[in-house]
Structure 1
Amino acid sequence: MELFLENGHLTDEALQASLQGTLDEMGRLEVAEHLSFCDTCLVRYTALLEDDVLLTPAQPLAQSVMDRVRRRVVHVFFNRYAAVAAAVVLAVTFWSTGLFRNIATIPIRESQPPTSYSETVHEVKMPAAARVNAFFRNASDAFSHNIASLFD
């Protein structure tokens, strides 16, 4: 059986044999390679495929797919807004308890020896990042001290 015409395109027999699966391995490779770059033969091949009967599912899928999409949208919506709501609740809680006021001014000790106790601790303006770092460092130290005192 001839696979190609004189002009280089696939014969109708080759296309039919490819659809039926009666070509040998070398013939299948040649037809597949030719279809990968020849648009004319590819159009003819897909026209032959259009005659096939499409199978219909036993149950319609549209409703189940739409139900899954709706559930996914609701899930994503509530997850995003739940995270935002939790962040707002934490921010309001920290703000109302005065946690942010404590971060604004953090007492630090001078490097020179103090002359009196009143000079030992004073408020210093610090950048916000330094205040946050100092707050968490102090909180960590206090937590470690409290945990250590439990085991003493």
Structure 2
Amino acid sequence: MELFHENGHLTDEALSALKCGRALSDLSRLEIAEHLAYCDVCLMRYTDLLAETELEMPMRSCHGGLWHRIRLRSIRILTSRYATAAAALIIVFSLWGFGIFGGIVERSSQLSQSDTTFTQNLGSWPQQWNDSLNSIFDKLDGAFSAFSGNSNHNWRETNHES
């Protein structure tokens, strides 16, 4: 059986064999499927060929059961959303009743007072940083001097820092 015409399109015999499910090898089915995937002309011919056949009816309708499941799922989603919101409200009101939020308000006022103290002491920070860095470098210098055996060597003198 010829699958393709000289112009590269599928033959009518190949399309009807595919439609009826006649004996086609796996390789032939694969070639036909690959051709139908990119050739719109042959795909339209195959669609027209399938449109002539009568569609099969299902054994039982899924209309009633499907709508019933959709309704149940929408009710379940709706109630779970409201249940989550209600639980969150109960937790918030319980925490409020125990006075947890009062402590937060007090802590907030304490933080705002400490913020003004922080900004007032901000000007002394550069000097404090400089002093602490100098002490760190002095300790490192002492450690390296002890390690190298040169106790008279000073890091600041080498780098000409004051």
TM-score (normalizing by structure 1): 0.63
Higher relative contact order (CA 8 A, sep 6+): 1
Number of the residue aligned with 2:100: 99
Report matched runs for 1:118-129 at 5 Å.
125-126=110-111
Q: Supply the distance in 2 between the matched residues of 1:37 and 1:98 (Cα, whole angstroms).
A: 70
Number of the residue aligned with 1:33: 34
Secondary structure of the structure 1 residue equivalent to 2:87: helix
Number of the residue aligned with 1:89: 90
Q: Supply the distance in 1 between the matched residues of 2:102 and 2:77 (Cα, whole angstroms).
A: 35
Pairwise CA distance, 1:79: 0.4
Number of equivalences: 111
Pairwise CA distance, 1:50: 2.1
Secondary structure of the structure 1 residue equivalent to 2:72: helix
Evaluate the alpha carbon distance shift between residue 29 and residue 57 of structure 1 in structure 2; reply closer, same or farther with a 3 A threshold: closer
| 72-81 vs 19-28, greater mean Cα deviation | 19-28
Evaluate the alpha carbon distance shift between residue 6 and residue 98 of structure 1 in structure 2; reply closer, same or farther with a 3 A threshold: same
Secondary structure of the structure 1 residue equivalent to 2:111: coil
Paired residue type of 2:54: V
Pairwise CA distance, 1:102: 2.4
Higher share in helix: 2
Pairwise CA distance, 1:124: 7.2
Number of the residue aligned with 1:4: 4
| 34-43 vs 3-12, greater mean Cα deviation | 3-12
Evaluate the alpha carbon distance shift between residue 69 and residue 30 of structure 1 in structure 2; reply closer, same or farther with a 3 A threshold: same
Number of the residue aligned with 2:49: 48
Root mean square deviation, CA, Å: 2.2
Computing the radius of gyration from Cα coordinates, the structure with the larger value is 2
Number of the residue aligned with 1:148: none
Paired residue type of 1:100: F
Pairwise CA distance, 1:73: 0.5
Q: Supply the distance in 2 between the matched residues of 1:65 and 1:126 (Cα, whole angstroms).
A: 58
Q: Percent identity?
A: 42
Q: Supply the distance in 2 between the matched residues of 1:25 and 1:124 (Cα, whole angstroms).
A: 79
Pairwise CA distance, 1:26: 2.9
Which runs of at least 4 in structure 1 moved beyond 4 Å after TM superposition?
Answer: none
Higher share in strand: 1
TM-score (normalizing by structure 2): 0.60
